[in-house]
């Protein structure tokens, strides 16, 4: 009886150890961005499981207190740009993120044919807003620092087929970075 119990304990221990090793996630920081004029630093990271899709996230680190605010994006998301936009004369201090975070055709996989979104975060990471709509494909963007306007060029994929059709034309969107609202479509 004792041998049977000992054998069962060993089998359960080996199975538990094997399972724990197979679900281990490799955690890697790609970049640290010091947010000027604040106590915060943003770290971009990727979770790369041995099997499965990449998971991206942002870590907002308060360098005074050591507290961390973690922003997890959906599985398969890709962060292409993370940068601070600080315009003191207009009272603007945000973290601008350009990322693929939407699976437009709902096939359970975000890939390069899915649109990039523009998101803005407060320096602490506590406030977030997506500026562009889910079906808007961001092509290029720029910031006018005199007016605090984000200028975005791209197109709306009206039928959500993940490509630009003849009926879908380029549109330029103007966003006020202070209010985080769309000012105008051109």
Higher-confidence residue of 164 and 154: namely 154
Higher-confidence residue of 98 and 26: namely 98
pLDDT for position 82: 95
Asked whether residue 92 carries a pLDDT value surpassing 70, the answer given is: yes
Task: Copy the structure tokens of residue 100.
Answer: 């693929």
To the nearest whole number, what is the mean pLDDT of the chain? 84
pLDDT for position 13: 43
Q: Average pLDDT, stretch 63-78?
A: 90
Domain-by-domain residue ranges, the chain?
72-186
pLDDT for position 108: 76
Per-residue pLDDT band at 152 (split at 50, 70, 90):
very high
Q: Using an 8 Å Cβ cutoff, are 157 and 135 in contact? A: yes
Q: What confidence tens digit (pLDDT) does each residue in 111-143 have?
A: 778 899 999 999 999 999 999 999 999 999 999
Asked whether residue 179 carries a pLDDT value surpassing 70, the answer given is: yes
Q: Average pLDDT, stretch 47-59?
A: 78
- With 0-12 / 13-18 / 19 or more C-beta atoms within 10 angstroms meaning exposed / middle / buried, residue 75 is middle
């Amino acid at each position: 009886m004792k041998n049977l119990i000992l054998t069962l304990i060993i089998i359960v221990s080996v199975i538990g150890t094997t399972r724990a090793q197979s679900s281990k996630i490799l955690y890697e920081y790609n970049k640290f961005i010091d947010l000027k004029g604040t106590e915060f630093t943003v770290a971009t990271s990727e979770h790369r499981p041995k099997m499965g899709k990449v998971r991206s996230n942002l870590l907002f680190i308060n360098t005074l207190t050591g507290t961390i605010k973690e922003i997890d994006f959906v599985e398969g998301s890709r962060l292409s740009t993370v940068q601070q936009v600080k315009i003191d004369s207009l009272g603007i201090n945000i973290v601008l993120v350009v990322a693929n975070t939407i699976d437009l055709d709902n096939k359970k996989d975000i890939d390069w044919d899915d649109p990039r979104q523009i998101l803005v975060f407060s320096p602490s990471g506590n406030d977030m807003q997506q500026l562009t709509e889910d079906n808007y494909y961001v092509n290029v963007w720029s910031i006018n620092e005199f007016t605090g306007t984000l200028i975005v060029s791209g197109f709306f994929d009206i039928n959500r087929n993940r490509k630009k059709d003849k009926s879908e034309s380029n549109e330029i969107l103007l966003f006020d970075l202070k209010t985080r609202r769309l000012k105008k479509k051109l």
